[in-house]
Chains A and B, each alone.
Chain A
């Protein structure tokens, strides 16, 4: 079920996928998107496993591009798997050697599922400006992971300055359960919120994103305190009726304390990568809230301490600055490729 193609071309890979599909008698299955994973040898295996798991919910073609820069000649080696033992859709592992390692888009483009949206995921290192990257430009959605970078907050700052609609980061996806829990506390009547603070492990991009999101939503300054973790350990909203606090010292169960209620607990566990990717693939339109949260980062008191000082903190908000630049890049694109689109933001 796995076909190896050494020293091959994209069109031969494409033929191999079709042939495998035909051979298995499944020539029409719903593939809703193409997921391109750009990774090195060290990260690709785990990433592919998670993506394949997520593909159960979103049937897709998964193309893993593994650039192997080196001195040798340009060469493409591929391994194609269709309908593996565990019923996974279509996987193609592409190793790009020599000068070809810099031309990932040229190999990926002919292998995209016709018409279907394209998502690119960099599980490890990612280019600084993902939407200007040749592979990123093929995609509606570009997924990075600031937490995987050697300096996560620095990486988040790079995402912030280069943000374009369609970008997203797993550091943001990781805090969805936290955001849901905090938001649900305010579904009940509450007093006037006067301030908020969160405690989080050092260098956590998720922590500052959560703080920025709260600050943006609540309109009050949010303090960020460093704790020993794991992850985010406490969030407190100060209101004129008393503090609403959620603490999670063990990384598993959150305890909620608020005036007028008995203390309550809720499970709040770190999420698996496949869960994160499945959430990302659920909606492929731009995540405006994420963009606006990035814009809020410089306004966070703690950001000056963490952020890259070379970037003037008061620069024009990313969401406003990007569109013009983006339009210029999209016009250069080959017909039929997806352009990063931007929907009107509220900012």
Chain B
């Protein structure tokens, strides 16, 4: 066998002009730690099946589960089968399942148990032999971050973290990447010690690749938006991620973390970076990262955090027709918890393009409805050649990039009301991206997993970005920790009064998404 690294460009059947041919992952296996978790059952395992169904996994692909359960391979296969049946996006096909099933293995053990990892090592070697996975293995750590250290050390000890020549080992970790700057650095050091940075994939499942690419295409493939994408025309930017659900059984994870760490640190700041960054030299991974890092380094906090941040906890109330309990009444949450379920913060971006344009970020649970969007709100026209009464109903123009649900773009501008009187009112113009019914519009996890197996890192945040996020957020979290309690807000509304006051101070209002 040759030892030279083989690349797809050596393949005589691949022609860059041939856009029909999808890239199929090479021989490999995926080892999932924490297969009993919600995420693994609802997202990961169905996504693996969907990839197989679309013919994007290599023949001989293997899926290995690792958990503290007394299961045999067949028991695990049954769990995968059920989760695929229930949650897969594409239709269930016997032949796809049969083939996938042959590659399913299970290793029982504890994250610190040396014996279990030795067994895993044997299973993986055996797969190389019987399934032809060729020493290519990805480790997906779908487990709480406190176990990362154990698992990574065990992978190192058992020799699983190093590959032979021409083969690869990769590790996938999920947010949260730490709970402040220091812990993020510690976490990174733990992983970095064993896996070189190019082999670490950080996944933010809120932010699918499709979304990022849609946003980049909107901004950089068009001429009509870029000229007004700056402080000359933009009044402010609002970035919202709202959930209508509560903590839904995740008390253990959520208490002590809160909305800011859970969502603002990674997701909303990534959206801010993509919205505010300059045009990258190309869409190569490092070019995009460089621009994102630049803009994140330029983010500033307001001098008085009390006036320009807001936090809240949902109180009992009615949400979309159902009575729901308050956060402090949820099971597993202490009645004195100061964990916030709503967080809003005002940020500045100190660059020539954005000087003086505030970016308002907010996220919360049990808000009016589920929505994620970026709204660019423009300044009013400097002069209106109409009488004041004509334009009473005219608001500010805006471009809203909807991320979920129904991904698309809305433009809001003034238009004359039909009739003999001159009267201008706001109208919406909507564009929706194509529905994801056909096989081409994969669910975010499928793309994430495929990118990992292909070794395609472009849109995964690097640890520098993660640390920049904490640098921005840490002063806010420290201020909040100094005292006070999150303000209660009624479930099903758009957050606490302090959040509305925070914008009112600047003479602005939150959009109702």
Contact = CB atoms under 8 A, between A and B. Distances in A.
A320 interface: no
- Secondary structure at the B interface, as helix, strand, loop or mixed, is loop
B432 interface: yes
Interface centre among B52, B98, B408, B434 (most CB of A within 10 A): B434
Interface string B411-432: 0000000000000000001111
B439 A275 contact: yes
Nearest to B427: A28
Given A30-B432, A186-B11, A266 B438 contact: no
Q: How large is the interface on B (under 10, 10 to 19, 20 to 34, 35 or more residues)?
A: 35 or more
A56 B434 contact: yes
Interface in B354-390: none
B124 to A, nearest CB: 15
Interface string B1-36: 110101010011111011111101011000000000
Interface in B36-63: 52-53, 55, 58-60
A179 B12 contact: no
Contacts of A265: 59, 99, 102
B95 A252 contact: yes
A54 B438 CA distance: 7
Contact of A266 (B2, B99, B129, B408): B99
B18 A289 contact: yes
B482 interface: no
Given A218-B13, A261-B60, A266-B99, A274 B438 contact: yes
Given A189-B1, A264-B60, A288-B17, A28 B430 contact: yes
B441 interface: yes
B435 A57 contact: yes
B24 A181 contact: yes
A240 interface: no
B462 interface: no
Interface string A301-326: 00000000000000000000000000
Contact of A56 (B21, B96, B102, B435): B435
Given A183-B21, A264-B131, A282-B440, A57 B434 contact: yes
B164 to A, nearest CB: 14
B163 to A, nearest CB: 15
Nearest to A179: B21
Contact of B55 (A177, A261, A287, A288): A177
Nearest to A289: B18
Interface string B398-416: 0000000000100000000
A267 B93 contact: yes
- Secondary structure at the A interface, as helix, strand, loop or mixed, is mixed
A309 B364 CA distance: 72
A267 B97 CA distance: 9
A335 B142 CA distance: 58
A151 to B, nearest CB: 26
A32 B435 CA distance: 13
Contact of A183 (B14, B166, B441): B14
Contacts of B439: 275, 278
A63 interface: no
A266 B59 contact: yes
Contacts of B55: 177, 180-181, 266-268
A188 B26 contact: yes
Interface centre among B14, B20, B429, B435 (most CB of A within 10 A): B20
Nearest to A175: B20
Nearest to A177: B55
Contact of A217 (B8, B13, B130): B13
A256 interface: yes
Given A177-B55, A180-B22, A217-B12, A267 B60 contact: no
A279 B134 CA distance: 32
A62 B130 CA distance: 50
Q: How large is the interface on A (under 10, 10 to 19, 20 to 34, 35 or more residues)?
A: 35 or more
Contacts of B134: 188
A182 interface: yes
A75 interface: no
Contacts of B436: 57
A253 interface: yes
Contacts of A183: 11, 13-14, 21, 24
A99 B137 CA distance: 66
A56 B129 CA distance: 43
Nearest to B428: A28
A226 to B, nearest CB: 24
B430 A29 contact: yes
Interface in A176-202: 176-177, 179-184, 186-189, 193
Contact of A264 (B59, B96, B429, B434): B59
Interface string A154-177: 000000000000000000010011
Contacts of B27: 188, 261
A4 interface: no
Interface string B78-99: 0000000000000001011011
B99 A59 contact: no
Nearest to A274: B438
Nearest to B411: A28
16 contacts: A28-B431, A32-B434, A56-B434, A58-B434, A180-B24, A181-B59, A183-B11, A189-B4, A256-B60, A261-B27, A264-B132, A265-B99, A265-B102, A266-B55, A267-B96, A278-B438
Interface of B: 1-2, 4, 6, 8, 11-15, 17-22, 24, 26-27, 52-53, 55, 58-60, 93, 95-96, 98-99, 102, 129-132, 134, 166, 408, 429-441
- 7 shortest interchain CB distances as A-B pairs: A264-B60, A264-B59, A184-B24, A266-B59, A261-B132, A56-B437, A183-B13
